[in-house]
Amino acid sequence: MTNEKCPLCGGRASKKMMNDENVKYVGMFFNCDVCGRYGLTADELEARTIDWDKLRIFLYYNGFRATEKNWPEYRYYSSLPKEKCDAYNLEFKKGINEHGCPVHMDKDTVDAWYPRSLSEKTDMILLKLDKIAEYIGQEVVFSRLELYGLMFVKRYKTEKDEFSEEEMDSQANFFIEYLKEAGYIKGGKISLDNTETYISITPKGYKQIDYLNRNSGDGRNVLVAMKFDAETVVLREAVKKGIIEAGYNPVLIDEVEHNNLITPELLSQIRNSRFVVVDLSHRNNGAYFEEGYAMGLGKPVIQLCKKGVNLHFDIAQINTIIWDKESDIPSRLKNRIMATID
């Protein structure tokens, strides 16, 4: 590992080559304080397919950082193909951690996550602030680069040309000003005279966060509950595709976690979902549980099941997409989402 510049945020990062099992160079792995652990393929480094501004902000919000609390951390985002990431994860489960636990990301993943409106962005900033603060009312310190991630600051004018620090500061300050005027935060703006800034959430801000948490089903996240393993790879991709095509953001918990437990993280993902898509073809206990939990919260549920599988009685009452071939799923699921979720 060497000390270098993070290609995304410009901060300091350690870097090492990623090689495949034939020791052939396939890309670069970075560990950045701001963006966390991530790997980019040689192709992505050469010619971008992902919007790097969105990618940097995606990683700031979702990245895997090896902190004291999160140690050891084997997970990292990777633009390697999905199949490659799955294969490395399988190796990891067998105890070979040469390649760690890559979580696949690509243009679709980043675009689907990225907020589209100003109000979506300000909601996400507030929720992230709440997540970062260790106690209520804490004044959290942000370095300039962290602030650029938090405040959705664009760094690239074009692939080669970057905005000046002054221009990026004023982008960040727009959101600080906006949230201050709304009465949600207290804190200083960033300027060329300082390298960091302090932000804290006001009581009014906490009230808004409570409101957002209760109503976060208004967002675009959709939890997918199903059996995840090598045998369901085609199915999961089909389900993902249908959800993305309907304009929503699929959340597949195995891409975030690497154990099979029902965790607080999973429950909060269900609470934060607009609706839940469940495939019951493998009569997977976890999927039944997650469906029940979502229903208890009053979330809409869309069920899928492979033709010929007998469903549990209670569940069988619900309108279900019975599929024969995985290739039929994306368009049928998309249509069902458009027809039933407003």
Site for Zn ion contains 34 (CB under 5 A): yes
Q: Which residues of 51-89 are buried (b: 16+ CB within 10 A; e: fewer)?
A: bbbbbbbbbbbebbbeeeeeeebebbbbbbebebbbbbb
Nearest to 321 by CA among 313, 331, 332: 332
Structure tokens at 266: 């999973």
Nearer to Zn ion, 14 or 272 (CB): 14
Cα–Cα distance measured from residue 156 to residue 56, given in angstroms and rounded to the nearest whole number: 11
Cα–Cα distance measured from residue 110 to residue 35, given in angstroms and rounded to the nearest whole number: 14
Part of the chain binding Zn ion (CB under 5 A), chosen from 29-37, 67-75, 167-175, 217-225: 29-37
Part of the chain binding Zn ion (CB under 5 A), chosen from 28-36, 93-101, 207-215, 248-256: 28-36
Site for Zn ion contains 28 (CB under 5 A): no
> For residue 165, what are the contacts with CB-CB under 8 A and spacing of at least 6?
144, 192
Closest separation between CB of residue 77 and Zn ion, Å? 12
Nearer to Zn ion, 55 or 222 (CB): 55
Closest separation between CB of residue 6 and Zn ion, Å? 3
Nearer to Zn ion, 105 or 337 (CB): 105
108 contacts 82 by C-beta, under 8 angstroms: no
Type and span of the H or E element at 252: strand 249-252
Closest separation between CB of residue 202 and Zn ion, Å? 30
Site for Zn ion contains 153 (CB under 5 A): no
CA distances from residue 203 to 7, 123, 189, 208 in whole angstroms, order as listed: 38, 16, 20, 9
Closest separation between CB of residue 342 and Zn ion, Å? 38
Residue 101's identity, in one-letter code, is C
Site for Zn ion contains 9 (CB under 5 A): yes
Site for Zn ion contains 6 (CB under 5 A): yes
Part of the chain binding Zn ion (CB under 5 A), chosen from 2-10, 149-157, 166-174, 281-289: 2-10
# residues near Zn ion by CB under 5 A: 7
Nearer to Zn ion, 165 or 237 (CB): 165
Q: Which residues of 200-209 are buried (b: 16+ CB within 10 A; e: fewer)?
A: ebbeebeebb
75 contacts 37 by C-beta, under 8 angstroms: yes
Part of the chain binding Zn ion (CB under 5 A), chosen from 7-15, 60-68, 118-126, 293-301: 7-15
Site for Zn ion contains 246 (CB under 5 A): no
Nearer to Zn ion, 6 or 57 (CB): 6
Site for Zn ion contains 35 (CB under 5 A): yes
Residues engaged in binding Zn ion (CB under 5 A): 6, 8-9, 11, 32, 34-35
